């Protein structure tokens, strides 16, 4: 059960991370379009699990590995943006959200 504070922090992180990925995707990730689909925050606000959907993945590389290479810079940029709303910046863990691929797969199976 998530608290109101967790939901507010999750929405704030989702909005700000979305803007960071939109502005810096060309320089950091080679033009891949990255969307923040879900953010889940632990009750102590110390960890944020961020689920990402990646469009134009290119040569089937691992986009999460690319993002984890830049986690320090992303966390720094995020900290500068939300420094007045949060006292402690949560640790960021990135996961690939494949729910769209799964829904597409189910849709194709149903059409057969």
pLDDT by residue (tens digit) across 58-98? Answer: 655 678 888 899 899 999 999 999 999 999 999 999 998 88
The pLDDT of residue 58: 60
Q: What pLDDT score does 101 carry?
A: 74
Residue 38: which of 24, 23, 18 has the closest Cα?
A: 18
Measured distance CA(5)–CA(23) in Å, rounded: 27
pLDDT of 4 higher than 90: yes
Query: CA-CA distances (angstroms) from residue 79 to 66, 68, 74?
Result: 20, 16, 8
Q: Any idea what DSSP says for residue 90?
A: P
Per the listing, tokens 């986009």 go with: 63
- pTM for the structure as a whole: 0.84
CATH superfamily membership of 4-111: K homology (KH) domain (3.30.300.20)
């Amino acid at each position: 059960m998530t608290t109101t504070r967790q939901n507010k922090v999750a929405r704030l992180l989702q909005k700000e991370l979305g803007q960071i990925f939109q502005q810096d995707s060309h320089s950091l990730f080679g033009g891949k379009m990255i969307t923040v689909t879900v953010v889940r925050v632990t009750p102590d606000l110390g960890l944020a699990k961020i689920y990402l959907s990646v469009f134009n993945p290119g040569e089937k590389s691992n986009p999460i590995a690319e993002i984890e290479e830049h986690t320090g810079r992303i966390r720094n940029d995020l900290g500068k943006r939300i420094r007045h709303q949060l006292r402690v910046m949560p640790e960021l863990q990135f996961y690939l959200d494949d729910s769209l691929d799964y829904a597409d797969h189910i849709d194709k199976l149903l059409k057969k």
